[in-house]
């Protein structure tokens, strides 16, 4: 027996709106229950699959649930004993829901597509310049496309409502007075959106770049549509507007490569044999696993009134290893000077002459 015939025979005593509510509740219960069963079945079947396959199920869970709900409510609208006005209202709500569903599916497709694209690159290696380049481009472009999808979805949804149809047209065509108002209201968003596209194309910064900005050193942790989060060395977060990186100067230590040079400055007495200190520095650097095997050099870079300035130059694979290598070399060299050449530490000299003025007559100073 068809369901609508059963309703006419056995539920004719109930008001139509009660029957409609019962059918809506029943349809939602069946749709949500069926969706949960399908998700659990799929989850059990892919339990041994890759992390990407499991994340794919998680990403599509929301759109698939909404699709089943729309289908169930559409079926209720056809069989429920509702007035023409109520039927038109439900059909219009389902139309708006379908527009939202399409926009949600497009955003999910963007997430899946970007994840598939980034599977070709590894970011867990030391020299991950190419991976960080593509990761930055994908994240910024994905956010820009998501904003565009939201605007288009909102515009199409508003066009289905006669009272605000012009607003929807303005969002899609950017025309008329409403379009000008919306454009002025969205000017900061649009300017940051354009700045984000410029950063994605020109690549002044990338995810995990080591940067020096406003006197603070850190790594680029996140690039959003309006700001950039820099993780500082002490785990603080510096939030910088996106346009700053296009308008203001800053230092990018990993623009071309993650390999970096670092130095440790030593100030020693003139009596120190530089060759012996250089040999110890080579020994310390070559024994450290933090050194990348490229640059290790010690030079006298300055000669001051009381001390010599020795620069210990070394290289490492990335900024984190370089910081640890510099600290290690600094500690080892100071220990070497303290134990092997204590007379080579910086000191002041004082010459004392006898009171009878022997120093002025060519006598020897008292030590």
- Asked if residue 31 lies in contact with residue 71, where contact means CB atoms within 8 angstroms, the answer is yes
CB-based contacts of 226, cutoff 8 Å, min separation 6: 188, 189, 192, 241, 242
Sign of the CA dihedral 83, 86, 89, 94? negative
Global pTM value: 0.50
Output the CA torsion sign for 280, 259, 211, 118.
negative
Over its C-alpha atoms, the chain yields an Rg (Å, rounded) of 35
Average pLDDT, integer, range 101-121: 83
Q: What residues does 297 pair with on adjacent strands?
A: 313
Answer with the residue of higher pLDDT: 22 or 269. Answer: 269
Residue with tokens 């009171």: 355
CB 35 within 8 A of CB 64: yes
Average pLDDT, the chain: 78
Contact 135, 206 (CB under 8 A): yes
The contacts of residue 39 (CB under 8 Å, 6+ apart) are 57, 61, 64
Which one has a higher pLDDT value, 129 or 64? 64
pLDDT tens sequence across 289-343: 999 889 999 999 999 888 999 999 999 988 778 889 999 999 999 999 999 988 8
Who's near 223: CB < 8 A, 6+ residues apart? 136, 139, 140, 196, 199, 205, 207, 229, 242
Picking from 148, 59, 162, the residue whose alpha carbon sits closest to that of residue 111 is 59
Query: What's CA 78's distance to the chain center, in Å?
Result: 47
Average pLDDT over residues 75-80: 72
Tokens encoding 328: 């290690």
Tens of pLDDT, residues 146-205: 878 888 888 888 888 877 677 666 666 654 444 444 444 455 556 666 777 777 777 788
pLDDT in tens, 251-294: 888 777 767 888 999 999 998 999 999 999 999 999 999 998 89
- Dist. CA 241–CA 255, nearest whole Å: 20
Query: How far does Cα 259 stand from its chain's mean position?
Result: 21
pLDDT of residue 334: 93
pLDDT tens-digit series, residues 210-252 = 888 888 888 888 887 778 899 988 889 999 888 888 888 888 8
Biggest CA–CA distance in the chain, Å, is 136
In DSSP notation, 180-247 reads: HHHHHHTHHHHHHHHHHHHHHHH-SS-TT-EEEETTEEEEEEEE-SSEEEEEETTS-EEEEETTHHHH
Where do the domains of the chain lie, and which CATH numbers do they carry? 3-120 (no CATH), 260-344 (3.30.70.100)
In this model, does residue 13 exceed pLDDT 50?
Answer: no
Q: In whole angstroms, give the CA distance from residue 141 to residue 128.
A: 20
Give me the DSSP letters along 242-287.
TTHHHHS--EETTSS-S-EEEEEEEEE-TTS-HHHHHHHHHHHHHT
The partner residues of 251 in beta bridges, in order of sequence, read: 212
Q: Is the pLDDT of residue 132 over 50?
A: yes
Helices (H), the chain: 3-10, 16-45, 51-79, 84-118, 129-159, 165-173, 176-185, 187-202, 244-247, 274-286, 319-340
Residue 247's CB is within 10 A of a number of other CB atoms, namely 8
pLDDT for the residue 122: 66
φ and ψ of 340, to 5 deg: -95, -30
């Amino acid at each position: 027996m068809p369901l609508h015939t059963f309703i006419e025979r056995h539920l004719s005593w109930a008001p139509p709106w009660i029957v409609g509510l019962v059918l809506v509740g029943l349809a939602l219960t069946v749709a949500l229950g069926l969706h949960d069963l399908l998700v659990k079945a799929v989850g059990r079947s892919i339990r041994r699959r890759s992390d990407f396959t499991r994340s794919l199920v998680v990403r599509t869970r929301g759109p698939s649930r909404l699709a089943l709900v729309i289908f169930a409510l559409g079926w209720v609208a056809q069989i429920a004993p509702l007035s023409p006005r109520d039927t038109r209202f439900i059909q219009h709500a389902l139309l708006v829901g379908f527009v939202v569903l399409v926009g949600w599916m497009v955003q999910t497709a963007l997430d899946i597509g970007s994840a598939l694209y980034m599977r070709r690159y590894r970011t867990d290696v030391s020299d991950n310049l190419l991976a960080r380049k593509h990761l930055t481009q994908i994240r910024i472009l994905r956010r820009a496309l998501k904003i565009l999808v939201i605007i288009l979805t909102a515009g199409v949804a508003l066009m289905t409502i006669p009272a605000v149809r012009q607003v929807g047209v303005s969002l899609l065509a950017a025309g008329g007075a409403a379009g000008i108002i919306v454009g002025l209201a969205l000017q900061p968003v649009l300017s940051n959106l354009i700045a984000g596209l410029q950063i994605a194309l020109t690549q002044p910064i990338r995810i995990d770049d080591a940067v020096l900005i406003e006197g603070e050193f850190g790594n680029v942790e996140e690039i959003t549509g309006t700001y950039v989060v820099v993780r500082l060395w002490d785990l603080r977060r510096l939030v910088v507007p996106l346009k700053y990186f296009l308008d203001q100067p800053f230092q990018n230590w990993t623009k071309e490569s993650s390999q970096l040079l670092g130095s440790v400055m030593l100030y020693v007495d003139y009596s120190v044999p530089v060759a012996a200190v250089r040999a110890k520095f080579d020994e310390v650097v070559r024994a450290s696993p933090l050194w990348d095997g490229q640059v290790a050099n010690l030079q006298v870079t300055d000669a001051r009134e009381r001390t010599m300035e020795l620069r210990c130059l070394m290289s490492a694979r990335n900024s984190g290893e370089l910081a640890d290598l510099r600290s290690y070399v600094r500690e080892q060299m100071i220990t070497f000077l303290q134990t092997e050449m204590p007379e080579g530490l910086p000191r002041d000299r004082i010459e004392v002459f006898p009171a009878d003025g022997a120093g002025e007559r060519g006598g020897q100073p008292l030590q």
